[in-house]
Amino acid sequence: MQLKKITSGLAQENGYVLEKDGTVVVIDPGTDDARFFEVIDRFGAPSAILLTHAHFDHIGGIDALRERYQIPVYVHRLEADWLTDGEKNGAAAFQLPLSAMKPAEKTYEGDTLEIGQITFKLHHTPGHSPGSVVLYMPDDEIAFCGDLIFKRSVGRTDLYGGDQPTLMGSIDRMKQILPDSTVLYSGHGPETTLKDEKLENPFFR
């Protein structure tokens, strides 16, 4: 497995390019930063773009990737219309021209997503946004958790559709479901482990 984190954009959002057994996916490409294309050139042509949620800082690069590679975008059904709605995805609040993006081609269905040789367990984790998801790879014990959990912090809930009690409920469920050894790859900041967050994250107490 190969995994590359690319941090870019106004919010210094983390996007990821993941390769496993010849299958490549892009997760939360917040901008069309050239590094995405450089990594993809090394890893191989991607099969899909996966979104943990559809805020502007996680979707800014999707159209450039779709145009070059002709691949679908996956998003939770509750945010299927967010790519074209600047009020919902937050672009309007920051006066950014991101409300004219094409709709997502796919919505997540069920609790498992198989893309080529990669299998994700899908966990719906609303709170930061209504359609936030955690993409968990059980064989590798890694989880792409978007803006649910950060190292020593948690996601904000003051944006459209956010709710603090719902967020904490989602975190409580992940604390129970995921192994402590799970490496959490967040939408912002460094990676961490669930075990470390249980010990050190003040929002977990």
User: ∠ at Cα 97 (91, 102), nearest 5°?
Assistant: 90
Q: Could you tell me the fold of the domain covering 2-204? A: Metallo-beta-lactamase; Chain A (3.60.15)
Q: How far from 135 is each of 87, 91, 125, 156, CA to CA, in Å?
A: 25, 24, 10, 19
Q: Is 143 a residue whose pLDDT tops 90?
A: yes
Q: Compute the Cα dihedral for 167, 150, 29, 108 and give only its sign.
A: negative
pLDDT reported for residue 100: 61
Q: Is 36 a residue whose pLDDT tops 70?
A: yes
- pTM, full prediction: 0.96
pLDDT reported for residue 205: 78
Q: How confident is the model at residue 99 (pLDDT cuts 50, 70, 90)?
A: low
Q: How far from 127 is each of 30, 62, 104, 203, CA to CA, in Å?
A: 20, 23, 21, 14
